[in-house]
Amino acid sequence: MPVEVKGGQDVRSFVRTLVEEQGSEKAELIPILHEINHELGYISDEAIQELSDRMHIPTSHIFSVATFYRMLSTEPRGVMLSNSVRAHPAMLQVAARSGRA
């Protein structure tokens, strides 16, 4: 199933447009990957293949860059949930002194 960019554009044409706008130099790889990640929420195999074709960089190199940086993801990420701790260290110390810990 082909992945679509938020605007309804297919991934391959989106990547093609990015490479045309930003250039196909190797130095542009990380900014382009960042833009793909921002737009799709992750970097799909289809996007990596198209980047490889357009920038003449092996897919293995693109994948290694995409997986090296924590800001980038090669898999769709779920919704982030934030948990807060209700008892901070000072509260634990008071509880320990009073025998409630």
- pLDDT tens, residue by residue, 37-55: 999 999 999 999 999 999 9
Q: Whole-model pTM?
A: 0.71
Task: Give residue 25's pLDDT.
Answer: 94
**Residue 93 burial (CB < 10 Å; 0-12/13-18/19+)?**
exposed
Task: Give residue 20's pLDDT.
Answer: 95
Cβ(39)–Cβ(76) under 8 Å?
no
Q: Would you say the C-alpha torsion 66, 40, 1, 81 has a positive or negative sign?
A: positive
pLDDT in tens, 11-23: 999 999 999 999 9
Say yes or no to pLDDT of 32 above 80: yes
Q: Which two tokens stand for residue 82?
A: 């934030």
Task: Give residue 12's pLDDT.
Answer: 93
Task: Give residue 48's pLDDT.
Answer: 96
Q: List the domains of the chain with CATH numbers.
A: 1-76 (1.10.10.1590)
Q: Which residue(s) pair with 10 in the sheet?
A: 4
Rounded percentage of the chain residues whose pLDDT exceeds 90 = 57
